[in-house]
A and B are shown apart, each in its own frame.
Chain A
């Protein structure tokens, strides 16, 4: 019975991952994932700087992460354009945060490009995650 459950669990996990839906993860796992791809140890201070770094956009307005995520990370944010509610980033109030690597990667890619005009490096992603993990 036990073996049956294990086999079922294994195949379900593989199937879900193969479908491209989720890659279950945790903050420690993400730290080692990005840490292994960074030259410096991950640092929440550098992450904080990047989070609040203002970058001019083509429309002349300044952009930083707080434009959509708000000033208080334990509160909901709001999509700059559509006003759609964005759940809090702080893992202390939002247990769903940083539990799916696929999702983390997707939003880092989109949002770094939107905010900074380029993709973030593994170092930057790791630093930002360190900063967010303390919230």
Chain B
């Protein structure tokens, strides 16, 4: 009985110590652990600059949807000149600013559930597309192809907010999905 208490004490100490050494923007491991909010989804985009610069052309994907290795590749100057067929050149100052904030909030730094799952599924890979993340791919596996590509209002899984009604808040829960021309998607 006594040894049980000692072990529990040690475990608690380890948790608190671990928490204090991690100082992520989200408040760290300790605050994640003690929080009533279980950080189920993806951290919402915090930077107005990111929303404006990247969101001018497409849905501003949350930094926590890809690891920093992916963001680094995507934001290389040459890569931005041919950003999936588009020219997305940035001046150097802005490029570095955006890269810094993406790396800071990348999937591996986040305690949000989906970022953790994304990291676990990647196995060290750094894909260029969020749709190539095994976890994301698996989560969309059951959606019939006819609801995506031939669907004028969806076209591709890249348009998160076409179906995920709260994608801008970083919420991708089943309950918030409504596929245009089909309706709510729950099972």
Contact = CB atoms under 8 A, between A and B. Distances in A.
B58 interface: yes
Contact of A84 (B56, B91, B97): B56
Overall SS of chain B's interface:
loop
Interface residues of B, number: 19
Interface stretch (B11-19, B31-39, B80-88, B130-138): B80-88
B81 to A, nearest CB: 8
Contact of A20 (B84, B85, B89, B93): B93
B7 interface: no
Interface residues of A, number: 14
A106 B57 CA distance: 13
Contacts of B88: 110
A105 to B, nearest CB: 9
A24 to B, nearest CB: 16
B94 interface: yes
Interface in B137-173: 155, 159
A21 B93 CA distance: 10
Contacts of B89: 106, 109-110, 113
Contacts of A20: 91, 93-94, 97
A3 interface: no
